[in-house]
Amino acid sequence: MIGRLFLAYAFSFSLCLSLAQAADPAKKTGTLSFEKDVRKILKVHCLHCHGEVGVKEGNLDLRLMRLMVKGGDSGPAIVPGKSGESELISRVVAHEMPPEDKHMPQAEIEILKRWIDQGAQTLHPEPEKIEADYLAPDDLAFWSFQPVKNYPVPKVKNSKRVKQPVDAFLLAKLEAQGLSFSSQASKTSLARRAFYDLTGLPPTPEELKLFLDDTNANAYEKLIDRLLASKHYGERWGRHWLDVAGYADSEGYNTRDAERPWAFRYRDYVIRAFNEDKPYDQFLREQIAGDEMVKPPYKNLNPTDLEKLVATGFLRMAPDGTGSNPAEKEVAKNQVVTDTINIVSSSVLGMTVACAQCHDHKYDPIPQNDYYRFRAIFEPALDWKNWRAPVSRRISIMSDADRKIANGFEVEAKKVLAERTKLVNKFIDRTLERELLVVPKEKRELTRAAYKTVSKKRTKEQVALLKSFPRIDRLSAGSLYLYDRTLVEQSAKATQESKELGKTLVEKIEKETLSKIPEAQKQIALAAKKADAKKRTEEQKKIIAAYPALLVSVSNLAKFDPKGAAQIQHLKDEAKRLTGLKTVAVLKKYADDAAKIRTKKPKEEFIRVLTEVPGKVPKTFFFNRGDFEQPKHELLPAGLSVIKSNLKQSVEIPSKNKTLPTTGRRLAYINYLTNGKHPLTARVFVNRVWLHHFGKGIVASPTDFGKLGIPPTHLELLDWMSHDFVAHGWKIKRLHKMLMTSTAYMQRSQRSNDYDQVDPDNLLYGRMPVRRLEAETIRDSIIAVTGKLKTDLYGQPVPVKEDEVGQIVVGIANVDTAGRQKKALKMDDRQFRRSIYVAVSRSKPLAVLDMFDAPKMEPNCEKRASSTVAPQSLLMMNSGFMLEHAAYFADRLAKERTGNKSDQVKLAWILSYGKEPSAEELKQSVEFIDLQIAQFKTTKVKTNKTPEQLALATFCQALLSSNGFLYLD
Amino acid sequence: MIHQTQTTGTHTRRHFLASSSMGIGSVALSWLLKQDPLLAKDPAIRPELVNKHFDLIPKPTHHAPKAKAMISMFMQGGPSHLDMFDPKPMLQKYDGKKFPGDIKYDNAAQASSTVLGSPWKFSKHGECGTELSELLPGLSEVVDDIVVMRSMHTSVNNHGQSIYAMHTGRILAGRPTLGSWLTYGLGSESENLPAYIAMVDPGGAPVLGVNNWTNGWLPSLYQGTVIRPKEPRILNLNAPPHLSGKAQEKYLDFLVKLNQRHLSQHPGEDDLSARIASYELAAKMQTAATEALDLSKETKATQALYGIDVPESAEFGKRCLISRRLIERGVRFVQIMTGNQHWDHHNSMRTALPRTCKRVDVPSAGLVKDLKQRGLLDETLVHWGGEMGRLPVIQNDAGIAKQGRDHNTYGFSMWLAGGGLKGGMTYGATDEFGHHAVVDKVSPSDYHATLMHLFGMDAERLTFTRNGAEQSLIDRQVNRIVHDIIA
């Protein structure tokens, strides 16, 4: 099974619906138009077969009003003014059209009818000619496809509240509604807000003090500078980017969900890029076309080239089942291409290009041809006809020097192994000879010859002969170890025989000797034999002297029966000889030696990259209905037509850049996207940064800037910021500082009735929102307050496993081949690393993250949800993770503020909430701890903790479960 | 306000609930209970930007409902209708002979055109005389209470797509499952148990895993909650012994104080109130779920009714009995799953199919009997069926012992009971070889429209707005309510 047991009985949930409900035209009075009301209905239901991509079934094209009047094989589709006589209406009403199981909703039929009855009006004259990729003028005019404008900063009445130009844009709209910004938040609130927004961690008491004690006017600005310089900034903002990139450490696609080694280097690249404040245009160029900026062959890479190649890991983030033997291989390959296009277009362009894979986009002006032009940009690297499986497309980053060293050791190891092979052959011969002993003499020579003949060349007789001696037949280097067991058995047998023979011979001599002794003396003889040598009587000594053989034993047998003794010795020698022939230990030593030599080799490591195979340029075809088995016409690489039309400049993406070994398509495309003129690149990114600071985007649908997305609440502001961002070199940290030092960001988050009356959803930004911490931030903060957080950066992912009750936890899996849990392995302190370093397994999401809405990468995450459900509460109340960390937290308090409950509470408060408790809070907390101590004193359940420790831990748990900890104000 | 007071004396959560008088209950629950569209008053603000709230309080229906809860036993893999539900004399006549027509195979490598007559005898049962095979002695005792549907079809010949069709109405991934639609449309009758429960088999989840109980694009509130096949049946439900009981109550009391003070500094923040309520609900759930899952109060006779006294059927029987306890306590939709490909008898059908039947036959019939004797059957819709049936010809013709049957999604059977349906009847028919449904065909959409109708809902009118379009379980497909089976 997929292995994830959801526990999601939710009792309440709030969701910001990012839906653009079309304003209800059924209720609209007045005149309907083709452009505004009708075309979109036809686009969804009809145009796929009647107009798009040159398809005109029944010779009917419905893309223009005049073509509808002209009609097709069945005559005019509409008769303006007479819906009752319009073929289109009667077909739709009769459910004949659209065909198959689809039918048009009644409300939409009503609109068509009314439009026809009103005379089938258009707003503008219709074009004379219409091409396959026809884009209607109203589609071209859509806001997000227009160039970014540098709007002037508006004038406001209360200019004192303007700290940054963004404030003016916001305040102007607030003032228009008779509103203003809220007052400034407290210093402690601002600190917590800034720490979480920039590092995803709570302030330490020392960091907090540094800021609170700083009474200079620029204290806050200095704090922002310190946080932007923190190494944890990259982890926080890298995580946001990894969401849109769809980062995962497993391949996904099918239930096998194989591990995806080396993906982490891309994750580290992203963290580094943010920490270094890499300009966004460069960041994108490296991710989309880093390989095209490096000269192949990709060997002996310098750090800069290595970085560029690792960056292309972005284009390798899609779920990829092609390495795990998928049932339908071609489907799996094409799915990787589809998902990659999906990731690029949603993250960088903020467009749902994927919707145009099977037909023209139903809502946005993206013809199906555009989808395959877009695909052509990536196809030389993602060539499904010449697919490279994950293992064969990675690049080794071993230097030639290291490789030389490695090869040297390999030669050495091979030498040892060659000696071993010689020995193996010798041992096989030896074993063969031994085994031949059971073959009747007359057949031995034939059997030996048969065995020595290469199996393919054996005659039928030889095969039959060998079959009757399976032990010889099966003898090989691989089975040699099994014959050790035979040797042990044979040796044991010889030993046993020697013992039995010894016993028999001794008994025989004893018997013979006794029979020689007269009856009267027999008792004395027997007593003498039993008696201790030193205590023998004279009489006994005498009889022994007369009959020395009375004292016969295996060890002195030679004296009395030299021949027998020799026989025994022979058996013993044979046993020893047989044991000495064992081969396993001898051969193992050679293998071990070789392995030991190999450990000295420098370790070979890899990077996951997207590259092209120079010289191989596949053709890209239009797939009918998105089906790769129905390729139609060829298409050449290009960006979206709608943007090209609006830019009014020729933007070419040549099929082959002659100056590069690769096609140069991606490089040309990303240069175009980052030339500062593209209407979407900067807008989409600036909107994302805004979203993570203010809780929602200016465009509330961050991956959909199209018609189904949500229009910007502040278009002028978005454009001003986008322009400013590009004009100042795409610098991200600068943008953070500008936003975080604005009046808007520094406001209080409290609601007021007066404000809520006008703007209950805070669309005008008259206050800051109260925001719940994200999944990773919750986990990281809990670990941070216990003092156990490991703050090292980068590296191999921390493993996750299914624990004995099926929850996914951090740990090293120890499961046998049948899937049974074996002994739990102790986890090292990697369990205290930040969540960004915990392996992202698509099928095994870490329970505590999954519960708090960590994204499922299928293929990437557009925007996180923030749910409030009872299972989260149960996790806070009862999960092993919480109880364990509450205990660590308590240990820290007890250690750092030994013996003083008030001081312990104060420290806990500062660590959890970033402020001191009030007198009342302090009193209640101490009371609670005392109450719990009394409670735990009465408990009969045995634990290894004192009541004081347990009580303090439940106090800590309460703080960590509380809203004050889980929310930012 | 609606606030249930616990009247039974010994609940350990009483103390915590008593703290509701401080106001936590009223703030949180009233938030939970309000159905406020929260439309913006300023027309300049687009209504779709508003945070919509979803909840599980009972909702009005389109018309008077007959069914109030549903237990679905999902037999993933494709139970062989030809050997259990749909007797075909022609199969016996042609047994071992060439099939006189076209067959749509799944596995060509093992395909054969030799007809396989059912190795099991069919006979009439009950007053109605419905014919069932000897593989179903348990079900044979309740034929007068069930409808055997013999004309189901999905017509996409593999498991995944057919499962999607049966659960979500379309053969595509990503859409909400039936249980999600029901809880979205109707809410829950229980305040402290999940509304939609998926009971997973020890043999693992069915094909498609968690997608069998996904909420798709409906809010995650409407996702199925998994009850695990082994203890702990619900993760994180209880604290370890030394922390549970009084100690946890005091912890929750203190947490309420912390959260109340925080809320007082942020009046009107619904999400903060909701989280306060979610702790209250979590605590109530601890008691309620523990009690609902405890079978020790059930008599030996009841347990025997579900086959719990027989090793082969004990595990499935327990899950059936838990299902009854859950719907008794107000849970809306319970789905009991069989393991991964449990019914996918491509091979060795003669030994494997009887074994599989033995696991579920008595428990599933016992469920119908028990619901009936408790007067719950009238309002509880019971469903038993998979995503496909099997072909009339042999698969893997490598000796009698190895024979099986390949997939058949063109005609198959399932049965339904209670919830306002007639009993003692069969509906629809396949062709004379049982390959294609031909008479009174029932598609997944027909099935969905019918059962939503029983719940008082018009399946096409129960919609959710997504990407600017009204989405429904039916999704504009042709559908009909099968009135002939409704009482």
- pLDDT tens, position by position, B296-317: 999 999 999 999 999 999 999 9
Handedness of CA A8, A14, A19, A22 (dihedral sign): positive
A283 & A387 share domain: yes
pLDDT given at position A452: 93
Cis amide bond preceding A297, omega within 30: yes
pLDDT given at position A192: 97
Which residues of chain A have a CB within 8 Å of the CB of B258? 958-959, 962-964
CA distance A450 to A467: 11
Q: Measuring CA to CA, which residue among B356, B331, B297, B315 is closest to residue B233?
A: B315
Q: What percent of chain A clears pLDDT 90, i.e. is strictly above it?
A: 63
The tokens for B354 are 């009887």
Helices A480-516 and A400-436 meet at what angle, rounded to 10?
40
A423 & A338 share domain: no
pLDDT tens digits, residue range A565-602?
999 999 999 999 999 999 999 999 999 999 999 999 99
pLDDT tens digits, residue range A86-114?
888 888 888 888 876 667 878 888 899 99
Mean pLDDT calculated for residue range A151-170? 97
| A214 C-beta neighbours (distance < 10 Å), count | 14
Mean pLDDT calculated for residue range A429-433? 92
In a domain, A799, yes or no: no
pLDDT given at position A863: 79
In a domain, A523, yes or no: yes
HSE-CB for A372 with a 13 A CA cutoff: 25
Q: Measuring CA to CA, which residue among B196, B203, B189 is closest to residue B167?
A: B196
CA distance A462 to A11: 77
**Residue of chain B nearest A954, judged by CA positions:** B251
In a domain, A945, yes or no: yes
Most confident range, picked from A26-40, A170-184, B89-103, B231-245: A170-184
pLDDT given at position B269: 84
Q: Please state, rounded to an integer, the average pLDDT across all residues of chain A.
A: 90
A387 & A467 share domain: no
B335 within 8 A of B385, measured Cβ to Cβ: no
pLDDT value at A563 more than 90: yes
pLDDT given at position B261: 94
pLDDT value at A17 more than 50: no
Mean pLDDT calculated for residue range A784-812? 90
pLDDT-derived band of residue B207, with 50, 70 and 90 as boundaries?
Answer: confident
CA distance A455 to A466: 10
pLDDT tens digits, residue range B332-342?
999 999 988 88
pLDDT-derived band of residue A47, with 50, 70 and 90 as boundaries?
Answer: confident
Least confident of A156-160, A529-533, A581-585, B320-324: A529-533
Q: A177 burial class (0-12, 13-18, 19+ CB within 10 angstroms)?
A: middle
Range of the domain at A559: 482-580
In a domain, A698, yes or no: no
Residue A275 or residue B238, greater confidence:
A275
Most confident range, picked from A431-445, A725-739, A869-883, B176-190: A725-739
pLDDT-derived band of residue B125, with 50, 70 and 90 as boundaries?
Answer: very high
Any A CB within 8 A of B11 CB: no
Whether B241 and A941 lie within 8 Å, measured CB to CB: yes
CA distance A118 to A101: 30
Least confident of A608-612, A792-796, B233-237: B233-237
> Coil, strand or helix: which one is A87?
helix
Most confident range, picked from A122-131, A549-558, B435-444: B435-444
pLDDT value at A609 more than 70: yes
pLDDT-derived band of residue B17, with 50, 70 and 90 as boundaries?
Answer: very low
Which residues of chain B have a CB within 8 Å of the CB of A751? 266-269
A322 & A387 share domain: yes
Q: Measuring CA to CA, which residue among A177, A28, A174, A51 is closest to residue A110?
A: A28
CA distance A42 to A104: 10
The tokens for B43 are 């027309």
B419 within 8 A of B66, measured Cβ to Cβ: yes
Q: Which amino acid is at A620?
A: T
Q: Please state, rounded to an integer, the average pLDDT across all residues of chain B.
A: 85
In a domain, A534, yes or no: yes
Q: Which residues of A704-726 are buried (b: 16+ CB within 10 A; e: fewer)?
A: bbbbbbbbbbbbbbbbbbbbbbb
pLDDT given at position A8: 29
pLDDT-derived band of residue B481, with 50, 70 and 90 as boundaries?
Answer: very high
A283 & A370 share domain: yes
Whether B275 and A22 lie within 8 Å, measured CB to CB: no
In a domain, A141, yes or no: no
Any A CB within 8 A of B57 CB: no
Q: Measuring CA to CA, which residue among A410, A939, A435 is closest to residue B247?
A: A939
Which residues of chain B have a CB within 8 Å of the CB of A873? 275, 278-279, 281-282
Which residues of chain B have a CB within 8 Å of the CB of A351? none
pLDDT value at A10 more than 60: no
pLDDT-derived band of residue B141, with 50, 70 and 90 as boundaries?
Answer: very high
* Among the partner residues A19, A772, A883, nearest to B271 by beta-carbon distance: A772
Instruction: Name the H helices within A146-259.
Output: 165-176, 187-199, 205-212, 219-229, 231-245
Answer with the one of A523, A558, A580 that is the final residue of a domain: A580
Q: Measuring CA to CA, which residue among A470, A380, A472, A356 is closest to residue A53?
A: A356
Q: Measuring CA to CA, which residue among A806, A815, A848, A851 is closest to residue A831?
A: A848
From the centroid of its chain, how far is CA B130? 25
By DSSP bridging, strand B425-427 and strand B146-152 are: parallel
pLDDT given at position B175: 87
Helices A441-452 and A400-436 meet at what angle, rounded to 10?
160
Most confident range, picked from A586-590, A631-635, B134-138: B134-138
pLDDT value at A691 more than 90: yes
Q: A559 burial class (0-12, 13-18, 19+ CB within 10 angstroms)?
A: middle
Q: Which residues pair with A621 in a beta bridge?
A: A634
A304 & A380 share domain: yes
For chain B, first and last CA: distance in Å? 37
User: Predicted ipTM?
Assistant: 0.78
Instruction: Name the H helices within A730-774.
Output: 732-740, 753-758
A392 & A404 share domain: no
pLDDT given at position A817: 62
pLDDT given at position B458: 95
Residue A718 or residue B38, greater confidence:
A718
A874 within 8 A of A800, measured Cβ to Cβ: no
A572 & A488 share domain: yes
Instruction: Please name each of the domains of chain B with its CATH number.
Output: 62-235+294-485 (3.40.720)
Which residues of chain A have a CB within 8 Å of the CB of B220? 8, 10, 13, 865, 867, 869
Answer with the one of A426, A445, A475 that is the final residue of a domain: A475
Residue A967 or residue A532, greater confidence:
A967
Least confident of A782-786, B46-50, B188-192, B324-328: B46-50
pLDDT tens digits, residue range A480-497?
888 888 888 889 999 999
Mean pLDDT calculated for residue range A314-340? 91
pLDDT value at B3 more than 60: no
In a domain, A149, yes or no: no
Answer with the one of A654, A679, A704 that is the final residue of a domain: A679
A392 & A302 share domain: yes
A390 & A408 share domain: no
What DSSP state is assigned to residue A153?
Answer: P
A436 & A496 share domain: no
Least confident of A4-13, A46-55, A618-627: A4-13
Mean pLDDT calculated for residue range A457-469? 89
pLDDT-derived band of residue B24, with 50, 70 and 90 as boundaries?
Answer: very low
In a domain, A784, yes or no: no
Mean pLDDT calculated for residue range B201-225? 80
pLDDT-derived band of residue A464, with 50, 70 and 90 as boundaries?
Answer: confident
**Residue of chain A nearest B218, judged by CA positions:** A15
Q: What percent of chain B clears pLDDT 70, i.e. is strictly above it?
A: 86
Any A CB within 8 A of B468 CB: yes
State how many domains chain A has: 4
pLDDT given at position A805: 64
| A894 C-beta neighbours (distance < 10 Å), count | 16
A440 & A543 share domain: no
* Among the partner residues B246, B262, B274, nearest to A935 by beta-carbon distance: B246
